[in-house]
Amino acid sequence: MSDRHEHHTIRRIVLPSGRAIEVIRFNEDDAATRDLHLCPHCDSDLVQPLSWSETPESRWQLTLECPNCGWMESGTYERAQVERLEDRLDEGLADMIADLQRLTQANMAADVDRFIAALDADLILPEDF
């Protein structure tokens, strides 16, 4: 039980890339533990940092924006919160790359479909090769 303590729980997540990350949840008040990637306005999980800078108290000054509803917030957040957001962004990036790969495959499939349709319509003749 070395990964479970009274003050926080650790959840291990394996990313599509195979990289494992540990998400640490501290049992503090809500403001300090809120998941920053979640929009409090529309519940979207795509909140992105527009800017960030470290404060002298080792906390982070962030400006967050929800691309879904346009909600924005500037505030100072705990390091653990920001690290969770970074982990989440890594995860989002992996998802985006996977989507992009699926999209590329879909485009290739569409090209093949167009090619077959052109063949069927006799638009491509032997002299095209």
Residues that bind Zn ion (CB under 5 A): 39, 41-42, 44, 66, 68-69, 71
The residue (of 40 and 124) whose beta carbon lies closer to Zn ion is: 40
User: At closest approach, how far in Å is the CB of 62 from Zn ion?
Assistant: 16
The residue (of 39 and 85) whose beta carbon lies closer to Zn ion is: 39
The C-alpha atoms of residue 21 and residue 67 are separated, in whole angstroms, by: 25
User: At closest approach, how far in Å is the CB of 121 from Zn ion?
Assistant: 47
User: At closest approach, how far in Å is the CB of 123 from Zn ion?
Assistant: 47
DSSP 55-109: -TTS-EEEEEE-TTT--EEEEEE-HHHHHHHHHHHHHHHHHHHHHHHHHHHHHHH
The C-alpha atoms of residue 123 and residue 115 are separated, in whole angstroms, by: 9
The residue (of 26 and 71) whose beta carbon lies closer to Zn ion is: 71
